Each structure stands twice: as structure tokens, then as C-alpha cells.
Amino acid sequence: QARHAMCEYKERQCPGGFFKIGSKCYKIYTDTTRSWEAAKSKCEAVDLVLPTKTDDANILRKYILDTYGDMWVWMGARGVGTEFQWVRSGEAISNTSPLWWTG
């Protein structure tokens, strides 16, 4: 399924075109939808990473809804068996996480 790429910037100061939630900077590429692998490659091509576990999930979700409307974005998680896990840590993502919403 194709979705938009959202990337996380590792520095504290957000460059132009990024938005800050908590201590992290994010950028959503809305030029085209991509597969998960293509979204990961898009982030890596500009020295960014797909977002991973965040304590600011509710704020991030609200920002996306308020700014872009009902839009799907890829994050740094993958389906493994019957659950989803963060790719970098392998930690499971709860079905009740605010990062999931009907779209």
C-alpha cells in the first residue's frame, strides 16, 4: 500500500520545511506516495531516518491531522507475524497506540 514518506531529523535545530514535535524534527514528503521500502530510501537519501518510537505520538498525530487532513504516513515500523515492531529496536507496537487511526 502506498503512503507518504515522513522522515525524522536527528539534530535539535529544525531546518526549513521541517516541523518540531517534542525534541524531534520531522518532514513529510507529500510529492508522491511510496511503498515502505521507498519511503525508507527517500529518508536515507537525504541523510534522514523513518521516525521511530515517540512519546509524542498524540501530538504528532494531531499535527498531521490538523495540517494535512486524513493522511497516511510511513514510520519506522514493520509487520512481523501478527504484530508490528519498531525496526531499530524490535519493540512491539501496541494495537492501542495513538499512532494507529482509521483513514
Provide the 10 A C-beta neighbour count for residue 93: 18
- Letter string b/e over residues 42-53, b meaning 16 or more CB atoms within 10 A of that residue's CB: bbeeeebebbee
pLDDT in tens, 67-92: 988 888 887 887 777 778 888 788 88
Report whether 85 contacts 92 (CB < 8 A).
yes
- The reply to whether the predicted model has a pTM over 0.95 is no
What are 83-88's contacts with CB under 8 Å, separation 24+? Answer: 86/52, 86/53, 87/50, 87/52, 88/49, 88/52
Domains of the chain from N-terminus onward: 3-93 (3.10.100.10)
The fraction of the chain above a pLDDT of 70, given in percent, is 89
How much is the pLDDT for 51?
Answer: 81
